């Protein structure tokens, strides 16, 4: 079966021919578009390393068939920084030692982006931890990850107060 889908990935539109419907968004990003920042950890929706934003929402790309997402707007870790300028979350992960080996980090950052957009956690560390529970870190950098997300959320809220 031949099927063609169109995806916007990090602002760039791609028309992609799919000869097999089994291709997940994760495999398409990594193997077809060579965007290897999105990691394949468990490939079963348990570890969160493959987290991306689809139409602004964080999902596990390993459990999403590419062919079902024709027309989707996708953001991966490669689309987060502005040139050489790191996204505040990326800078905060470095400042707070939010990783050791780094394998889970792209998924953690994409998940944190989704969490902040969802607006459910605010500056409550426990809600941040709960909201990030779909991202495992085998190095155990959870304390730094929570601090990094909390700091960016606090910066955002301070900025909103200044604007208001």
Q: 109: which 2 tokens?
A: 């950052």
31 in contact with other proteins (CB under 8 A): no
3 in contact with other proteins (CB under 8 A): yes
Pick from 67, 75, 90, 153 the residue near other proteins by CB under 8 A: 67
- Cβ–Cβ < 8 Å for 130, 41: no
63 in contact with other proteins (CB under 8 A): yes
The alpha helices in 96-141, defined as continuous H runs, are 105-118, 125-131
Nearer to other proteins, 51 or 153 (CB): 51
Integer Rg of the chain from CA: 16
Pick from 79, 131, 147, 148 the residue near other proteins by CB under 8 A: 131
Pick from 16, 73, 94, 127 the residue near other proteins by CB under 8 A: 127
97 in contact with other proteins (CB under 8 A): no
Selected range binding other proteins among 6-14, 79-87, 98-106, 125-133, rule: CB under 8 A:
125-133
Pick from 126, 160, 163, 164 the residue near other proteins by CB under 8 A: 126
Pick from 29, 33, 35, 64 the residue near other proteins by CB under 8 A: 64
Beta bridge partners of 54: 57, 74
Pick from 30, 41, 60, 106 the residue near other proteins by CB under 8 A: 60
Range 121-125, long-range pairs (CB < 8 A, 24+ positions): 121/149, 121/153, 122/153, 122/157, 123/150, 123/153, 123/154, 123/157, 125/150
159 in contact with other proteins (CB under 8 A): no
- Which residues, 6 or more positions from 138, have their beta carbon under 8 angstroms from its beta carbon? 101, 103, 104
The H or E element spanning position 156 is helix 142-163
Q: Which residues bind other proteins (CB under 8 A)?
A: 1, 3, 20-22, 24, 43-45, 48, 51, 57-60, 63-65, 67-68, 111, 114-115, 118, 120, 124-127, 129-135
């Amino acid at each position: 079966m031949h099927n063609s889908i169109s995806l916007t990935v990090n602002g760039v539109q791609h028309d992609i021919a799919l000869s097999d419907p089994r291709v997940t968004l994760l495999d398409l990003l990594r193997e077809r578009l060579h965007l290897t920042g999105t990691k394949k950890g468990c490939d079963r929706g348990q570890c969160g390393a493959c987290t991306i934003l689809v139409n602004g929402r964080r999902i596990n790309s390993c459990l999403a068939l590419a062919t079902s997402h024709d027309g989707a707007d996708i953001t991966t870790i490669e689309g987060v920084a502005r040139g050489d300028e790191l996204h505040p979350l990326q800078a905060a992960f470095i400042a707070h030692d939010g990783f050791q080996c780094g394998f889970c980090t792209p998924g953690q950052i994409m998940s944190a982006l989704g969490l902040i957009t969802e607006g459910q956690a605010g500056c409550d560390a426990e809600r941040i931890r709960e909201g990030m529970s779909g991202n495992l870190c085998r190095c155990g950098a959870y304390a730094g990850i929570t601090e990094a997300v909390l700091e960016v959320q606090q910066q955002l809220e301070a900025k909103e107060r200044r604007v208001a």
